[in-house]
Amino acid sequence: MTHLRRIMLEELQRRHYSQATTQRYIRSVERFAQHFHCSPDRLGRQHIRQYQAQLFTVQKLSPGTVTNHLCALRFFYIQTLKKPWSIADTPYPKKRHRLPTILSQEEVAQLIDAAPTAFYRTVLMTLYATGVRNAELTRLKISDVDSQRMVLHVRGGKGRQDRDVMLSPVLLEELRAHWRRLRKRSSVWLFPGNRWHSSDQPMDTKTPRHACQHAARRAGLKKKVYPHVLRHCFATHLLEAGADLHTIQILLGHHDLKETAIYLHLSQRHLHATASPLDALVLKGSSQPEE
């Protein structure tokens, strides 16, 4: 497995997969091999189907999580082993389409103000002000902050696409204060890693998640908050402020407008644009209290 792991790792890196996705894919293949106590290159379609069923029935994983495991195995078989993969033999489970959690602007302010450290505060402000994904945030470089054009360059986003997002004047001042606070300033990364934020490597993707969890707990928010929630808030609040859907699509880096259209279901401005038909009814009297 060590030799196969190295080949898979090289292939993932060559295709510019994020560090988080790379680790997740490799762990998925390793767990698949451990389940059958056999090298994965000696396992076939029947084993994949058995494993898929086991993930559902025994581990009781969600359809989305099972799909992630299948994506990892598909990559391994096609790109590492150069073997064919049939979707018909191992169909992906249907996902349940749930609307994401949204915080009001007041709740976002409470979250940011409750950040336990100045570093966490800057991380939360950047997530909300730009709508970047967690992995994109960790890879931001000093050179990506363009104060002349007031934009933030997002390099190698999902699908290896670059894009620009607006750079808020408030965020720019916060980033400058963040830079002055650093004990050791990285020559590359905007958010350096390790406990003292002095590493030559970027911060781990766990750091923004911890920032959200700690701040939400201190703010007393009952909703589950994680980095992608602030991305949803960014898009929804822009839509409520009057931004058009196509502009939001570009800022988020969505390939398909259908991905962005979900925010129409979340925007209060759009939800309240049409009155309920109940309001047009002429009803006699009012409901009497039950005895």
- Residues with active-site annotation: 133, 158, 228, 231, 254, 263
Q: What is residue 191's DSSP assignment?
A: S
Output the CA–CA distances (angstroms, integers) from residue 101 to 61, 98, 231, in the order listed.
Answer: 21, 9, 10
Nearest to 40 by CA among 86, 87, 10, 75: 75
Cβ distance 152 to 145 under 8 Å? yes
Q: Which two tokens stand for residue 113?
A: 């103000």
The secondary structure element, H or E, covering residue 208 is helix 206-219
Residues 6+ apart with CB under 8 A from 186: 142, 192, 198, 199, 200
How far apart are the C-alpha atoms of 165 and 163, rounded to whole Å? 7
Q: What is residue 283's DSSP assignment?
A: -
Residues 6+ apart with CB under 8 A from 224: 101, 216
How far apart are the C-alpha atoms of 100 and 223, rounded to whole Å? 11
